[in-house]
Amino acid sequence: MISKEKTRELEKMARQLRRHIIEMTCAAVSGHPGGALSAADMVAALYFYKLRYNSQDPSWPERDRFVMSKGHAAPVLYAALAEAGYFPKKYLKTLRQLGSSLQGHVDMLSVPGIEMSTGSLGQGLSAANGMALAARIDKKDYHVYCMLGDGECQEGQVWEAAMTSAHHRLDNLTVMVDRNKYQIDGKVEDIKNIEPFALKWKAFGFNVLSCDGHNMKAIIEALDRATDFKGKPTVIICDTVKGKGVSFMEENPLSYHGKAPTPEEEKKALEQLCHIEEFKI
């Protein structure tokens, strides 16, 4: 069981990731802050509790793999990689700048620690399947994690990949869904309803877990249950809020799907993200 001290440390890291997201997208005057903010708690739990990796040796064969299938949420992944030591944190503010390797969507050839280039939605789970199958063939014990968006789950390839995961009983694979209920065009339920969502994953052969995607203790417990489960792949449906942590983004999620805050909004957002005394990590 995770300690209260470790949980608090992870919560502080999630806030730090959110601050990076705001600062990066504001420096670029571009990017996708909303869906990056909604995923920050899950990414913090992965990189600073669950994943096995070596930032000084990104190609370490025994490392766990993480595929950010919702590749436009690049800012939160870049922030985690910088905090984990893959590259200097000061480099984060070069996001989307000419000559920077921090592209608007993640690119495995330009940044250490990225396992798969993504951004064309729906493809990440297929790649994660391949990694999980490779681990079995190579007799390796690493685990593969893949993060999907709920809007992304309108893509047919996601469900083809899900059938493959279940067919091969890939219990070394865990899918996390950032269920923030919005995509670029509006509410997921209005554009193409994906309900009954949990039952779909169950019907496709997955072990299905659900949790509050902003409750660190709940996320950790779900991740531990997922990696302990044998015989099927697991999906964790994480209930989240787009723009989480920044009030005006939470209230108007569509406006900040792919738009950076203004300088005035940046100041307000950062103030909201550092109101807790023990913020410093």
Residue 240 CA to chain centroid, in angstroms?
Answer: 12
Q: Which strands make up the sheet holding 65-68, listed edge to edge?
A: 65-68, 144-149, 173-179, 234-239, 207-212
Task: Read off the amino acid at residue 13.
Answer: M
Size of the chain, expressed as the number of residues it contains: 281
Q: Give the pLDDT score at 277.
A: 42
The pair of structure tokens assigned to 12 is: 């502080």
Can you give the pTM of this predicted structure?
A: 0.96
- 3-state SS of 80-101? HHHHCCCCCHHHHHHCCCCCCC
Every domain of the chain and the residues it spans:
4-279
Q: Give the pLDDT score at 274.
A: 85
Strand partners, 144: 65, 173
CB neighbours of 26 closer than 8 A, spacing ≥ 6? 260, 261, 263, 266
Instruction: Give pLDDT tens digits along the chain (281 positions).
Output: 789 999 999 999 999 999 999 999 999 999 999 999 999 999 999 999 999 999 999 999 999 999 999 999 999 999 999 999 999 999 999 999 999 999 999 999 999 999 999 999 999 999 999 999 999 999 999 999 999 999 999 999 999 999 999 999 999 999 999 999 999 999 999 999 999 999 999 999 999 999 999 999 999 999 999 999 999 999 999 999 999 999 999 999 999 999 999 999 999 999 999 854 444 44
Domain 4-279 has CATH 3.40.50.970: yes
Cα separation, 134 vs 144, whole angstroms: 10
